[in-house]
Amino acid sequence: MTTMLGVALTGREVLLVGAGPVAARRLHRFLEDGARVRIVAPELCDDVRDLVERHDLEWTPRAALDSDIDGAWLVHTATGDPRADAAIAAACEQRRVFCVNASDGAHGSARLAAETRSGDVVVGVVSDAGVDPRRAGRLRDAVATLLREGRLPLRRRRATVSGRVDLVGGGPGPTDLMTIRGRRLLAEADVVVADRLGPTDVLDDLDPDVEVIDVGKRPGHHPVPQDEINRILVEHARAGKRVVRLKGGDPFVYGRGGEEVAACLAAGIAVDVVPGLTSVVSVPQSAGIPVTHRGVAAGLHVINGQAETTASAAAVLADPAVTTVVLMGVAGLPRLVETALAAGAPNQRPVAIVENGHTPRQRTTRTTLGSAVADAAAAGVSNPAVIVIGDVAAADLLLPERVRTGDAAR
């Protein structure tokens, strides 16, 4: 029978007997664990030599002696000679030192598990009898996939002294467009402070006892002010909880993520940011609009549609080589159009308004600067929407040349 143990090797001595390709793979792992590694081997393979030089490791260039085991917490033997490895394993047994015998793992006193990690969780797979590395590796990979997708119970069940806050960018909405790290952090969360946009469906996958706090804002309606959101994050983290601030798009693109990070740092709370697909790029992409395109648009300008348009922003609106993407701009569309036209932009400059990008309710209204206000009103355009101003918004931009010249109408 095999009993699995989690062994901390940080700062502890590991003896590596043999220095071939197998030893090279294990040496990487021991170094990642923070072990102090000694190597005894007549020769080093190139990969081991590189690590020895890079990490200034101790190497004794000869065959191993029983006395080399003295002082080691763990021994790994992989000389390529089963009899030599068996002798080292026997010497370790006499000294009560655990030994991984790579020649025949079934005859060593320790085995290295096929490992996968998710945050501070380490999952290992070993065989109880015999050695089958490929089976263990495939099972490890299957577990790793579930961990990455946040489909396994990663939440702590014991209270911690200090909590933390993670700002997670959820992207434009579909859960499969979230990052792996974001899904993992949600699976670990005790409290989720969520907006109304982004991957709200993922909240249904949380444990029933995870506290979900809705702080979503709507145009002209901010039921939970930003100062109160900051207070909520700090309060729950101080209570020792893992807090995820789930946002649509990216936390640092009109998401007030900087303010929330500053509030946590000021309160002495550990905080990190996980980027997400910003709607600046992903929502136009969902409508087949590249925000930059060779020979059409070489630059990108992002505007908050609720803010006043500066003189420099007006000049960019008129630049034919720059795409302007407007977030939160439905209500401010008449002012934006007036500003662009006054700055010299032509009436026929293409405009696309993409509502509910990457959702089943997605709709795109194609128009021009001169007609945008009337067409948006006629279509009943509403938030959430992203407005794209520039030649990249033309409906025929990505069509073959023969279609763009009018053949499609025949």
Q: Identify which of 7-21, 126-140, 199-213 has the greatest average pLDDT.
A: 7-21
Q: What's the pLDDT at 103?
A: 82
E strands, 173-276, are 191-194, 211-214, 242-247, 270-274
- Residue 155: per-residue pLDDT: 80
Residues 288 and 368 in one domain: yes
Domain membership flag for residue 172 = yes
Lowest mean pLDDT among 4-8, 288-292, 353-357: 4-8
Catalytic (active site) residue 247: no
Question: Does 259 map to a domain?
Answer: yes
On the question of pLDDT at 256 being above 80, the answer is: yes
Question: What would you measure as the largest C-alpha separation in the chain, in angstroms?
Answer: 89
Q: Which of 221, 245, 277 is the C-terminal boundary of a domain?
A: 277
Q: Report whether pLDDT(98) > 60.
A: yes
Q: Do 97 and 170 have their domain in common?
A: no
Is it the case that residue 1 has pLDDT exceeding 70?
A: no
* 218-229 pLDDT tens trace: 655 568 899 999
354 lies in some domain:
yes
How does DSSP classify residue 177? G
Is pTM beyond 0.75? Reply is no
Same domain membership, residue 266 and residue 329? no
Which carries the bigger pLDDT value, residue 408 or residue 112?
Answer: 112
The span from the CA of 32 to the CA of 26, in Å, is 10
In this predicted structure, what is the pLDDT of residue 315? 87
Q: What is the mean pLDDT of the chain?
A: 89
189 and 261 in a common domain = yes
Provide the residue type at 120 as one letter. D
Alpha carbon distance, N-terminus to C-terminus of the chain: 76
Query: Which CATH number characterizes residue 20's domain?
Result: 3.40.50.720
Q: Is 195 a catalytic residue?
A: yes
The CATH number covering residue 338 comes to: 3.30.950.10
What is the average per-residue pLDDT within 8-23? 94
What pLDDT is recorded for position 169? 96
Residue among 146, 128, 126 nearest 136 (CA): 126
Question: Is the same domain home to 287 and 234?
Answer: no
* Domain presence at residue 154: no
- The yes-or-no verdict on residue 230 having pLDDT over 50 is yes
Average pLDDT over residues 54-82: 95
Q: What is the CATH number of the domain that holds 220?
A: 3.40.1010.10
Listed range (67-71, 98-102, 118-122, 295-299) with the worst mean pLDDT:
118-122
Looking at per-residue pLDDT, the higher value among 175 and 388 belongs to 388
Q: Does residue 139 lie in a domain region?
A: no
* pLDDT > 50? residue 409: no
Judge whether residue 353 has pLDDT over 50.
Answer: yes
> For residues 28 and 15, what is the distance between their CA atoms, to the nearest angstrom?
14
Distance CA 169, CA 255 (A): 9
pLDDT in tens, 334-351: 999 999 999 999 999 999
Position with higher pLDDT, 401 vs 68: 68
User: Closest Cα to residue 182, out of 193, 169, 163?
Assistant: 169
Q: Give yes or no: residues 381 and 285 share one domain.
A: yes
Cα dihedral 187, 190, 193, 196, rounded to 10, equals 40
Given pLDDT bands bounded at 50, 70 and 90, which one contains residue 263? very high
Do 230 and 292 lie in a common domain? no
Range of the domain at 170: 164-277
Alpha carbon separation from 353 to 313, 327, 331 (Å, rounded): 19, 10, 13
Question: Averaged over 238-248, what is the pLDDT?
Answer: 95
The pLDDT assigned to 130 comes to 65
Same domain, 174 and 208: yes
Number of structural domains the chain divides into: 3
Same domain, 57 and 98: yes
The two three-digit tokens of residue 81, written as one number = 């000679």
Most confident among 116-130, 159-173, 227-241, 298-312 (mean pLDDT): 227-241
How many whole angstroms from its chain centre is CA 82? 43
Residue 322 lies in a domain: yes
Whether 390 has a pLDDT exceeding 90, the answer reads yes
Residue 408 has pLDDT above 70, yes or no: no
Given strand 385-389, what is the order of strands in its sheet? 299-304, 322-327, 385-389, 350-355, 363-368
Q: What number is the average pLDDT over the span 227-246?
A: 96
C-alpha pair distances (Å), 128 with each of 29, 111, 132, 213, 400 = 22, 10, 10, 45, 61
Looking at the structure, do residues 374 and 302 belong to the same domain, yes or no?
yes
49 domain residue, yes or no: yes
Tokens of 71: 């002082």
Task: Answer yes or no: are the C-beta atoms of 74 and 110 closer than 8 Å.
Answer: yes
pLDDT value at position 404?
Answer: 39
Q: Which of 68, 85, 195, 250 is catalytic?
A: 195
pLDDT digits (tens, 9 = 90+) for 122-174: 888 877 766 677 788 888 888 888 887 777 888 877 666 689 999 999 999 88
Asked if residue 159 is part of any domain, the answer here is no
**pLDDT of res. 405:** 40
Which residue in the list 205, 217, 319, 391 is annotated as catalytic?
A: 217
Same domain, 302 and 264: no
Poorest-confidence range of 34-43, 108-117, 282-291, 361-370?
108-117
Report pLDDT for 4: 72
Pair 96, 25 in one domain: yes
Q: Rounded distance, CA 298 to CA 232, Å?
A: 42
